[in-house]
Amino acid sequence: MEIDKDLAARQEARVLCRQAENAQKKLRTMTQTQLDAITAAMAKAFENANAELAELAVRETNFGNVEDKMVKNRFAAVTVQAAIRDMKTVGILKETPGLWEVGVPVGLIAAIVPSTNPTSTVCYKAQIALKSGNAIVFSPHPKALECTLRAVRILEQAAVGAGAPAGSIGCLSLASMAGCQELMAAPEVRLILATGGPAMVRAAYSSGKPAIGVGAGNGPAYIHHSADLGHALECILKSKSFDNGTVCASEQSIVIEKSMENAVRQEAQKRGFYFMNQEEAGRLAKLLFRPNGALNPEIVGKTATFLAEKAGFSVPKGTKILVAREQEAGPTRPYSMEKLCPVLAFFVMDSEDAVLQKAIEVLTHEGSGHTFAIHAADEAVIRRFALQIPVSRFLVNTPAALGGIGATTKLFPALTLGCGAVGGSSSSNNISPMDLINIRRVAWGREQPSVDNDLVERIAAKILERLG
């Protein structure tokens, strides 16, 4: 008899949640030392499997490249582990006279995994979950099922070997929307950690459970006339070509003033930027999005040369980024939206005021609350823009893809980037273990002030005198 896949996926989600809830009961009694040993073992095992997982992810999804996937995996294992190693997340976190703060795990976490970062996201989310005493069950993307399952199995085995209860880390083996919905709605789940497309994030927030979701990235990069132009373009090149543009924090457009246009074009062309003419840009635009407005998965994580060839035009050898001139933002302007490939919009404005307004316009259309990059030496302009641009990550003189996740900045190293209320997210943080705990506050009563009975009697007498 043929088994209904959706029913099987729902049943699997229920079983995994029950197992994880049992594991959660044990995890929440563990000490910080025990949890730290578990996450350290997980990170080490994942790092040892780095190359295998990167190759598997690229082969299965056909997104990005192995070398950069390995950088992401190492970031998730080594950099994240270093950041959380000495972090206090459970037990008494802080003691002040009359007030204690106690870290309490939120409970079982349902985690959605994107196809663009299917292994690194698993390592990162599993570490921050168990570091804070929480069990976690993953829902993989159908295009990345095999590599996500492999990553989870490696982490699960390492965790159990280091003392974690069985069931602490689980993963749906049947990737389907039905299974994912069952997981998010499961009574055992206390929090949803959603990284994925807009529809998936909306589903997480509509589940009736507390959720931390990620909005779309669509970050502009402003090159100010005070910037080191060569450094700015190298940052953008490194960022936008990293893993073929699949990091949501990567730049989606360059915005400059008219006086900078010739210099920017000349310097950019030397570095592998190709400025498409109107016909070429029109051809590529037809490939970027489907008629319903959804991003075409066939262009995600592909190289600039592949995209040009697919669109029917040729580019010079060594081309790494395709650039299209644009002036407007909106649903009929594909270059003004998030493009998870090495393609940029190029906005040329008449003044700094116009640049500011255009950046806000782009982000208001898509990407509110996510990321903005500025390249400038003038602190006054940095301060001006920082006070007005509606983002949670305002990056200065750094590659946005790497700066946004905390690899080249002092931001917490994370692969889930909150967009705040303006972006429809419950948090504006780079999500850390501290976002996965509740704080129990133990508060002592204050001493009551002594009462001056003579003063009370005098006041009462005056009141009676006025009334009489």
pLDDT digits (tens, 9 = 90+) for 427-445: 999 999 999 999 999 999 9
Complete DSSP assignment for 410-462: SS---S-B--TGGGT-S--SB--GGGGEEEEEEEPPPPPPP--HHHHHHHHHH
Helix (H) or strand (E) segment spanning residue 105: strand 99-105
Span 147-199, pLDDT tens digits:
999 999 999 999 999 999 999 999 999 988 999 999 999 999 999 998 877 77
Q: Residue 278 half-sphere exposure, CB side, CA atoms within 13 Å?
A: 1
Q: Which domains does the chain possess? A: 5-214+429-442 (3.40.605.10), 219-408 (3.40.309.10)
How far is residue 73's CA from residue 46's CA, in Å, rounded to a whole number?
Answer: 8
Is 248 one of the annotated active-site residues of the chain? yes
Residues 186-244: tens digit of each pLDDT: 999 999 998 877 777 777 777 788 889 887 899 999 999 999 999 999 999 999 999 99
Confidence of residue 424 (pLDDT cuts 50, 70, 90): confident
Q: d(Cα 100, Cα 221) in Å, to the nearest integer?
A: 44
First-to-last alpha carbon distance for the chain, in angstroms, is 95
Alpha carbons 387 and 314: distance in angstroms, whole number = 42
Query: Does residue 454 have a pLDDT over 80?
Result: no
pLDDT given for residue 205 in this prediction:
77
CB 244 within 8 A of CB 341: yes
Q: How far is 420 from 429, CA to CA, in rounded Å? A: 8
DSSP, res 118: T
Which residue is catalytic, options 123, 235, 248, 341?
A: 248
pLDDT value of residue 260: 97
Please count the CA atoms within 13 angstroms of the CA of 165 that sit on its side-chain side: 18
Whether residue 294 has pLDDT greater than 90: no
Whether the per-residue pLDDT at 28 is higher than 90: the answer is yes
Q: How far apart are CA 178 and CA 184, in angstroms?
A: 10
> Strand locations in 296-402, DSSP E?
321-325, 343-349, 369-375, 391-396
For position 458, what pLDDT does the model report? 81
For 35, 40, 92, 316, 334, the CA distances from 26, given in Å and listed in that order, are: 11, 19, 18, 59, 50
Give the confidence band of 449 by pLDDT, cuts at 50, 70, 90. Answer: low
Name residues whose C-beta falls within 8 Å of residue 82's C-beta, 6 or more positions apart in sequence: none
Pairing relation of β-strands 91-96 and 99-105?
antiparallel
Q: State the Cα–Cα distance between residues 59 and 53, nearest whole angstrom.
A: 10
Backbone angles phi, psi at 442, to 5 degrees: -100, 110
Number of H helices, E strands in the chain: 17, 15
Residue 379: alpha-carbon gap to chain centroid: 27
Helix (H, G, I), strand (E, B) or coil at 115: coil
- Identify the pLDDT of residue 2: 62
Taking each helix axis as running N to C, give the angle between helix 379-386 and helix 352-365, from 0 to 180 degrees, rounded to the nearest 10. Answer: 30
DSSP-based helix, strand, coil % in the chain, nearest 5: 50, 20, 35
Q: Which position has the token pair 């001056």? A: 452
Encode 143-202 in three state secondary structure.
Answer: HHHHHHHHHHHHHHHHHHHCCCCCCCEEECCCCCHHHHHHHHHCCCCCEEEECCCHHHHH
170-206 in b/e form (b: 16+ CB < 10 A) is bbbbbbbebbbbbbbbbebbbbbbbbbbbebbebbbe
Question: Taking the CA of residue 177 as centre, how many other CA atoms within 13 Å lie in the half-sphere pointing to its CB?
Answer: 5
Residue scoring higher pLDDT (42 or 206) = 42
Q: Which of 404, 426, 427, 425 is nearest to 414 (CA)?
A: 404
How is residue 359 written in tokens? 């950046």
pTM: 0.92
